Amino acid sequence: MDTNWIIVGAIAGSFGTRGEVRLKSFCTNPKDIETYSPLNADNKKTYTLKIKKVTKDLLVANISGVTSKEDADSLKGVKLYANRDNFPNLLNDEFYYSDLIGLTVLDPSSQKIGTVSAILNHGASDIIEISTLKNDKFLLPFTKETVPTIDLPKKTIIVNLPSEVGE
């Protein structure tokens, strides 16, 4: 998928017997995923979705072409992508996480550490994954204290490394 397509969610499996799916939204407001529909999927198909209800951790939705529990189950794990052109315009100091992938990571003295390989969230908070010049990877909390500077025009970020990472 090219850089104009941004992952906005994933299908977590079926819900009930009528083809509804459990949907994990990666949008700040989970229901916003519906506004980007139709969505491209990593299975090379396009889906239109309609949110039916919100549960504690997931959305329940109808997806075009999915009419049975078996159809919905077969889509478990499929990632959904929206066209970047459909996203709202951002202010100067705002960015989408996808904008950070591939940026050069520098320490406060401008020494190159590596590149941003991913932004992750496993529930508690956001985490930045950095691939080093030695092809190792490490994780840091994605906070203002740890990542004080993001310079999109220069394609760099500055990170404050904990002492155990810098050794």
**Residue pLDDT, tens place only, 38-58:** 999 998 999 999 999 998 779
The pLDDT tens digits of the residues spanning 93-141 come to: 788 888 899 999 999 999 999 999 998 877 678 899 999 988 899 999 9
Mean pLDDT of 71-98: 88
104-106 and 156-158: which strand pairing?
Answer: parallel
Total-model pTM: 0.72
Residue spans in the chain of domains classed CATH 2.30.30.240: 97-160
Spatial distance between the Cα atoms of 12 and 23, rounded to a whole number of angstroms? 5
Q: What is the CATH code of the structural domain delimited by 97-160?
A: 2.30.30.240
Number of residues assigned to the chain = 167
Residue spans in the chain of domains classed CATH 2.40.30.60: 5-86
SS3 7: strand
Spatial distance between the Cα atoms of 131 and 151, rounded to a whole number of angstroms? 18
Nearest to 139 by CA among 149, 125, 156, 153: 125
Of the chain, the percentage scoring pLDDT greater than 70 comes to: 95
Residues in a beta bridge with 13: 22
The pLDDT tens digits of the residues spanning 154-163 come to: 999 999 988 7
CATH fourth-level superfamily of 5-86 = RimM (2.40.30.60)
Mean pLDDT of the chain: 89
Higher-scoring residue by pLDDT: 92, 61: 61
Q: For position 2, what pLDDT does the model report?
A: 61
